[in-house]
Amino acid sequence: MSKKSIGEAYLADPRLVEAKKLISEALNDHSSKIEGVKAADPELKQSYESMMEEFGKNRGGKLFYNYIGSGIGKGALVELADGSVKYDFITGIGVHYFGHSHPEVIAAEVDGSITNTTMSGNLQQNVDSPKLFKLLLDQANKYDAGFDHMFMTSSGVMAAENALKMAFQKKHPAHRVIAFEKCFMGRTLSVAQITDKAVYRAGLPKTLNVDYIPFYDANEHEGSIKNAVSKLEAMFVRYPGEYAAMCMELVQGEGGYWVGHEDFFKAICDTCHKHNVSVIVDEVQTFMRTDELFAFQYFKLDKHVDFVNIGKNSQICATIYREDHKPRPGLVSQTFTSSGAAINAAYYIINEVANNGYLGKDGKINKIHKCFADHLDKLSQKYPDKIEGPWGIGAMVGMTLFKGDFEKSKAFTFKLFENGCLSFIAGQNPTRVRFLVPMGAVTEEDIANVCKLIEQTVNEIE
């Protein structure tokens, strides 16, 4: 028998095993009482409203939705603290990929939360970190991409910051970046300059020089490739040697669910590399949402990209890169990166999606997408003046309502919330209503129920 540390013996202690069994039983007993969409409990309404008001005041502004969770749910359903139950089809903007109160996710979190510390970080990490790093790098190299390293961090935008810093350091003194029109990358002082939305950088000093090229247009396959490449070439002539990186989302999320194309991205990557410009792929929203674990694998860009940033679904955030972009000591570090609970949940979720029937042409992600898209397609045929679409890919599903009218689309999301389902808006001209589907929990019955709510709500908007 091999020698065990005290820590290993502690985690295998029969009392902990028994305690975890009790947690799991209690969870099941309570969670199973959640059976479907439900209105608020009148007796909880008043205390809920005062809590909302106080929370809004303390936050310095009202929440988008009157949403405060009670701490339990079942699959795609979540209970709010006022006793109401709703379908969660936006998942905290794409984080709760396995829905609410998933027994195995909670078991993984418990394993992580009974260890010695709350947070793990750069200086001190537990045995769960090396395991997660190996899983993610092995998966990123599924088709021999050749990634060597990963740096874990605390948010999607910090993964972007770290990739940008590494690219700038390698390409010093280059100081410009390129991005796609309508992109979203986050909101730090530097990354807010890249995100293509003026209100997100209103009042901020200019910290970065960013130039934009148009995203792929499926209606003009060849034309949009030629146009983007010629714009890139023109930039490289105008500012020779000044560009360090091209930042790209492969499916534009916040921008309105625009899906790119392999040929387009390959042409962009090749042009950038010809001019010694690094390519950063932002998969904070797309990770685990196509029928490959990474969207760069879906678009067959394994050898074409230099950095991949992940977040949201992965529960932890990270920058994945090769040896040739390795930063010099001191450039990237962070006191704490994530909690033991999140690191353990990340391992469970990523391993499950990578190895348990989610990926591939016949995997769950494609099946659920098809089911949702078929329902929306029927609705758009029934109400051609009100609903267009569906748009998106995999776990990202969207539709255009009322010809993309912003106010009506926003009103729709509030009404849909009232009726029992969370969604959100994306993009401008047209505005789209979007869903980030909880793949690890959702069933075809849930999709059918949500589509009934969509139909009811569309007909309630004037």
Binding range to ligand PLP, per CB under 6 A, among 150-158, 172-180, 258-266, 298-306: 150-158
Q: Name the pairing type of β-strands 251-252 and 258-259.
A: antiparallel
Site for ligand PLP in 90-129 (CB under 6 A): 93
Identify which of residues 293 and 447 has a Cβ nearer to ligand PLP in the complex: 293
- Interface with ligand PLP includes 155 (CB under 6 A)? yes
- Interface with ligand PLP includes 254 (CB under 6 A)? yes
Q: Binding marks (x or -) toward ligand PLP, 309..328, rule CB under 6 A?
A: --x-----------------
Q: Which residues contact 239 (CB under 8 A, 6 or more apart)?
A: 176
- The residue ranges of DSSP E strands in 341-437, in sequence order, are 387-393, 396-401, 421-422, 424-426, 432-436
- Interface with ligand PLP includes 284 (CB under 6 A)? yes
**Mapping DSSP to helix (H, G, I), strand (E, B) and coil, where does residue 371 land?**
helix
- Interface with ligand PLP includes 161 (CB under 6 A)? no
Q: Which residues contact 106 (CB under 8 A, 6 or more apart)?
A: 23, 24, 27
- Interface with ligand PLP includes 282 (CB under 6 A)? yes
Site for ligand PLP in 168-187 (CB under 6 A): 184-186
Contact, 139 vs 293, CB < 8 A?
Answer: yes
CB of 323 to ligand PLP, least distance (A): 25
CA neighbor of 338 nearest in space, from 118, 133, 46: 118
- The residue ranges of DSSP E strands in 66-215, in sequence order, are 69-74, 77-80, 85-88, 119-121, 149-153, 176-180, 209-213
Identify which of residues 10 and 212 has a Cβ nearer to ligand PLP in the complex: 212
Binding range to ligand PLP, per CB under 6 A, among 117-125, 169-177, 266-274, 280-288: 280-288
Identify which of residues 91 and 457 has a Cβ nearer to ligand PLP in the complex: 91
Cα–Cα distance measured from residue 223 to residue 229, given in angstroms and rounded to the nearest whole number:
10
Cα–Cα distance measured from residue 52 to residue 247, given in angstroms and rounded to the nearest whole number:
38
Identify which of residues 72 and 95 has a Cβ nearer to ligand PLP in the complex: 95
- Interface with ligand PLP includes 196 (CB under 6 A)? no
Cα–Cα distance measured from residue 157 to residue 191, given in angstroms and rounded to the nearest whole number:
7
CB of 350 to ligand PLP, least distance (A): 17
CB of 194 to ligand PLP, least distance (A): 10
**Mapping DSSP to helix (H, G, I), strand (E, B) and coil, where does residue 42 land?**
helix
**Mapping DSSP to helix (H, G, I), strand (E, B) and coil, where does residue 289 land?**
coil
Binding range to ligand PLP, per CB under 6 A, among 71-79, 141-149, 152-160, 269-277: 152-160
Binding range to ligand PLP, per CB under 6 A, among 154-162, 208-216, 334-342, 428-436: 154-162
**Contact positions toward ligand PLP, by CB under 6 A?**
93, 155-157, 160, 184-186, 249, 253-254, 282, 284-285, 311
